[in-house]
Amino acid sequence: MYQAEKMIPLTKQYRCIHSKSCQCTKGHLNEDVIYLVFQQMNWNPNAIASLSCTCKWFDDLAKRVLWKEFCRTRAPKMMQDLQSGGSHSVDGNWRALGKLLIYCSGCTKGSLFNGVHVPGHFVYRTRFSRTSGKSFLLPQCRTDVLYVSDPCEHLDQGDEGDIGFFRGIFKSFAMSKVKKMLIRRGAKFHPTEMCPYCKAKLWNMSQAEMIPLSASCRLGAYEDCVEYYVCLNGHLLGMCTLLPLSDSEEASEFE
């Protein structure tokens, strides 16, 4: 055991520089070693989250490196596109994007989507589409790049019927036409709720009258039952009331 410990490379830092309460009194493993360990684990998100809770040094490493590799592995083409144009980071940080890829935020009563209570939950696999994203943008904003997920369906929700939650991410949101239009229209932030992925303030796209009819067609939802928000970092989250299957198939013919 002693020999094994001697073989593990440690940093020269004998005390965590980020926190006096850190328990890592003998230093931290070399970043390259941690990288190789998590690479062998295929960037397991549960393991990354657990490591982040250990101390601030590990949390910083997870934000800078591990969540980035998780995102690149889970959605390589999407990540390549989001980073194209010379950008080496993603709006809202890699951990927020990693959470968005695998977590449906749901909703609690009295928050973003009134009258609906569906607990947030992890999803095994979700498809994000740049083509679908065009349907969520007004015609004058369709040069923006937006990736949107298929709706996460929650059936038989009482008076609300069958509902779907969807989420998405803008590329370079700070320079997008959507953000400029929101500002030009004087859109207000939600007074209390924050983005569940990065804790940034949220704009209500319904209030700004920026939800096109094509969004309901793409989702297979009722026209007046689609609502979504966009945060300052370009994360999108929304909810819709889904049409019965036969009706949604008919609606898709007119998209």
Cβ atoms of residues 102 and 123 within 8 Å: yes
Instruction: Find tokens 């498809």 and name the residue.
Output: 127
**pLDDT top residue among 205 and 18:** 205
Confidence of residue 20 (pLDDT cuts 50, 70, 90): low
Domains of the chain by residue range: 2-74, 107-252
Sign, CA torsion 125/126/128/131? positive
CA distances from 5 to 9, 26, 29, 51, 148 (A): 8, 11, 11, 19, 46
What is the overall mean pLDDT for the chain? Answer: 83
Please indicate, yes or no, whether the overall pTM of this predicted structure exceeds 0.85: no
What mean pLDDT comes out for the span 49-67? Answer: 88
Per the document, the length of the chain is: 255
Tokens linked to 57: 């040094």
Query: Rounded CA gap, 178 and 185, in Å?
Result: 11
Distance of CA 108 to the CA centre of its chain: 18
Query: Rounded CA gap, 251 and 218, in Å?
Result: 9
Per-residue pLDDT tens digits for 116-163: 788 889 998 889 999 999 999 999 999 999 999 999 988 876 666 789
What mean pLDDT comes out for the span 178-202? Answer: 94
Torsion of CA 30, 59, 121, 104, to 10 degrees: -100
DSSP three-state, residue 204: strand
> What residues have CB less than 8 Å from 110, skipping those under 6 apart?
none
Confidence of residue 16 (pLDDT cuts 50, 70, 90): low
Strand positions, DSSP E, the chain: 103-104, 121-122, 128-129, 146-149, 152-154, 163-170, 189-194, 201-204, 221-231, 235-242
